[in-house]
Amino acid sequence: MPLFSTRGPTKDSLEYGGIDDVQSQRKSNRQLTTSSLIRRLFFSLVVVAALAQAFFHLLPDLQRLIETPPSSGPSHSRDIAKCPGYELHSLKHTNTGLTARLSLAGPACNAFGTDVSDLTIKVVYETQSRLHVNIFDTADKQYTIPESVIDRPPPPTQSFTKTSDILFNYESSPFAFWITRRSQPDTTPLFDTRITSLPETPISPVIPGDNSTALGGFPLVFEDQYLQLASAVPKNTNIYGLGEVISSSGFRRNIGPANGTIQTMWSRDVSEPVDENLYGAHPVYLEHRFDPQSATSQSHGVFLLSAAGGDILLLTPPSSSVSLVEYRMICGVLDFYFFSGPTPNEVIEQYGALIGLPTWQPAWGFGFHLCRWGYKDLNETREQVIRMREANIPLEVMWNDIDLYHAVRDFTSDPVSYPGDKVREFIRELNANHQHYIPIVDAAIPKQVNATDLYHPYTKGVEEEVFIANPDGTEYVGQVWPGYTVFPDWFQKNTQQWWTDAFRNWSESGIEFSGIWLDMNEASSFCDGSCGTGANLINTSVPFILPGEPGHLILGGSDFLSYSEKDSSLKWTPADYPECYNATIFGPSGNITVNGTLTCLFNEDATPISSINKRGLGAGKQRNVDLNTPPYAIHNGFGRLSTHALATNATHAQGQVELDVHNLWGLMEQKATHLVLQEVIPKQRPFIISRSTFPSSGRWTGHWLGDNFSLWSYLRYSIAGILQFQIFQIPFVGADTCGFDGNTDEELCNRWMQLYAFMPFYRNHNIKGQYHRSRIAGTVSQTRHYTLFANSSMYGTPPVRALFFEFPNEPELFDVDAQFLIGADILVTPVLEPNVSTVSGFFPGCGQVIWRDWYTHSVVHSVPGEPTTLSAPLGHINVHIRDGSALLLHVEPRYTIAETRRGPYSLLVSLNAEGVAYGSAYIDDGISYPPGPHRILTFSIRNNSISISSTGSFEVAQKLQEITILGVNARPKAVDLNGRVTAQWLYAPQQDKLVMSGVDADLNDPVFVEWK
């Protein structure tokens, strides 16, 4: 095989169950957005250039061919129906579970690899709520994720086999297993692999046009390059998770019967198409089942701990009485964990207890962040800070994209446009004003072009042998923004120290960062294979015109390129102005109104945005496996796995290959960077935002949702994305506010900024050549719930919640993702479409919960189970408070988080119908790492009194200044504060509201309030 190949999978390589899979053909004539266009065009041109170079370089140097030896193993039947399954024997019960052997029950089928004849199954009841079922090859040749990458909890020290909430059940021949609840042994299993429970086969393609969804059978298949396991689930059940994805069905995944879902696990650098694999891989789902007879529900979770590429299918075959989830992995083992819940929040907490709880975020991270690809120099960057303050728009953190770099190289700053000493001066100005600075770090390290090219991160990396290699041991050389590049190998023993030194040197050169932005870490490469091997390294120019440059002006909207795979033709389609803006009618301004007339002519019949779709060392030490084109072609959006990524035969330490570890690259970079920040900025909480993620990434980083679009549909998609990452235990997450790709308009940005004032990560960032966002940013609410993220870091409880997380027995909420809850008590109902001044939303609780308006404190009158229409003029977002809550707030938001935290507190209480409320608050210094002294306040309200108590050693300097109590049904005759009558109170009968001022209470001491 040559150094690189533009050959996609052949028709033969895509057969499945005896039916041809033509999934690689289903993306022809796709439309690519500006970001996709740049990368695809760059990739195409580089491949052509590299082909020509390779012809000359390879002839005299054939021994350098990056080639996997041709397979001499058995041919592949590609027919799952012929697979015999396995039989269980040699069963041994243990104090914590069982172990057994599995042997092939008949002749090998070798469908997409070589059948493994001898397997081991190990079942461990690890906790009361977690069951571990691991099926692996007894010879231990398949790849398993090392504990150095994701450490697992220690083995249980007590037996849960008789008390666990969930049970493992099995049949010996053919082997199958199913998981049930101990309390409900006769109900539908949580997970059920029995053939008798699954639909009858063969089944024609369930998803029209995708022959891979033809189902030939459901045996357990365990081959060196293909693993398959299917489970029956209740028809049209509620499944959430499996990502990363922008799902056309929203937060709740489409399980059929119309179409269904194919979630591909292969991290990919792409500008956010719908229903395709994106930046990260998360093979975990939460299932929520509702029983109509009892009107109650229960949730459970299923997690496959595997770095393998693969497809996870959610399907309901026609006329089937059940739906199914099917795993099709191209390497690794079947290492499952089951979580009993039974509530959605408990499932998420139990998952966090396994993979690790989210990192502690610094308090300043919850403020407003501003960035742009295209700040041409430091003066323009500084100007944004000045103008934001002049407009009194709070700005917490200023960012720089790759404009900061010299020659687009990591760990540099341009000596002319961003001189290091001047950047240091600017950052210290920010710090003096309680503000912070974050630069970007791309995944690829530029290769030294000649002997006079002095670039220490590369030369030191070569010396320390920290870069990924070709199979023959030479450097793997891809291509990214700075030209030909190499990539860190996180498995090498010297990489951590090399990475730390690079950051420390960068900081000492003037880039005194407060946190780090990790981009392109899928990892992404613009060419297929080691295209830089033997290439002319001097030419580092980008072979296309960047957005905003002459010849590629962005007029607005989302520029895209029409691309035909038939003739590889490319054609620019210039973008319109902001979505729904008609420049022919209203001229070139792009404003929300012209002469008082709304300019947004939104076409509801327009094409939806999905039209842009377009322990062992595993395969590294296994013989007769195809590293570059595995026989089963997963539904990678780019087709070949190495497209816009590293080649799958690129080699890491100990012979580990990219095919096995591709999905781990971003996680390992995050962990390494987290450790760097602990050294370079000691005793402070590391702040990292990363694009690619994997299970346990939340221990090290937050996440932004990638290169999204300035479109109303993506405003809504972002809510589902944030809810998805609560399941993944990466709660500090957000999208690029107002959209990254394409010009926004005032209305869209206004609504987006309103919404994201309530989201964890709040950053406005856009592409080169577009409007400056600071000119249209509006006033931002700084309402935040620091306590929720402390609880997340301590217990794994999600800070942002789907409505059914808190109200699990209300079926009308199961697919709601246009509203969300902050914690349990704050309901947000944003506007997600243009040209409207009202919005509809549910008020959960079946009429038993009192919801009060955040601003007016008035009670909302709604019909249980039906949406309520609310007024929502431009500039207003609907927020409501749940009864029974007590919220500690700051009296007045100030310009930065630090200034706000120095101000006094207020307490907002919303009583339920019984006059009861409860709440708590976590307070510390907001920055120390590991977290130091803290104080937990508890607010208990009942019998016309408030009791405030606390535990912990942190001294809270700020006083409690105001108390507002909603739901006081009659004017009090007297109000006491700590046993003394106070006259500093008012009563508003319209809202049943009691307001106390001048409280001046020390929160380090008990506080008691009573009204009579």
Which of 269, 335, 660, 707 is catalytic? The answer is 707
Any domain includes 880: yes
Boundaries of domain holding 915: 805-1011
Q: Is 311 designated active site?
A: no
Question: Encoding tokens for residue 230?
Answer: 């299917």
Answer whether residue 391 is part of any domain.
no
Q: Is residue 56 part of a domain?
A: no
Neighbouring C-beta atoms of residue 596, cutoff 10 Å: 5
Task: Give me the phi and psi of 82, to 5 degrees please.
Answer: -90, -5
Query: Is residue 902 domain-resident?
Result: yes
Catalytic residue among 522, 669, 883, 962: 522
So what's the pLDDT on residue 618? 84
Distance CA 381, CA 379 (A): 5
Distance CA 117, CA 104 (A): 5
Q: Identify the pLDDT of residue 595.
A: 57
- The CATH number of residue 853's host domain is 2.60.40.1180
Distance CA 198, CA 217 (A): 9
What single-letter amino acid sits at 517?
W
The pLDDT value recorded for residue 623 is: 86
Cα distance between residue 583 and residue 599, in whole Å: 9
Domain assignment present for residue 435? The answer is no
Q: Degrees (nearest 5) of the Cα angle 712, 716, 722? A: 140
- CA dist 245 and 701 (Å) reads 19
For the question of residue 1005 being annotated catalytic, the response is: no
Q: Which of 519, 576, 806, 962 is catalytic?
A: 519
Closest CA to 978 of 1009, 952, 940, 1012: 1009
β-pairing verdict for 688-690 and 702-704: parallel
In-domain check, residue 1002: yes
> What is the amino acid identity at position 706?
G
As a whole number of angstroms, the distance between CA 691 and CA 294 comes to 43
| Ranges of residues in the chain whose predicted pLDDT is under 50 | 1-72, 543-544, 556-576, 603-615, 769-784
- 946: in domain: yes
CA 642/CA 649 separation, integer angstroms = 9
Which candidate, 883, 885, 889, places its Cα nearest to that of 1003? 889
**Cβ count near 500 (within 10 Å):** 18
The residues near 660 (Cβ < 8 Å, ≥ 6 apart) are 143, 307, 308, 331, 332, 617, 618, 619, 620
Helices and strands counted in the chain (H then E):
14, 53
Q: Pairing state of beta strands 310-315 and 296-304?
A: unpaired
CA atoms within 13 Å, Cβ hemisphere of 945: 10
Give Cα 561 to chain centroid, integer Å: 27
- Of 861, 841, 960, the C-alpha closest to 904 is 960
Domain count, the chain: 1
**pTM, 2 dp:** 0.90
Q: φ and ψ at 495, to 5 degrees?
A: -70, -40
Q: Is 475 contained in some domain?
A: no
What gap in Å lies between CA 549 and CA 984, rounded to an integer? Answer: 63
- Cα–Cα dist 181/50, whole Å: 57
992 noted as active-site residue: no
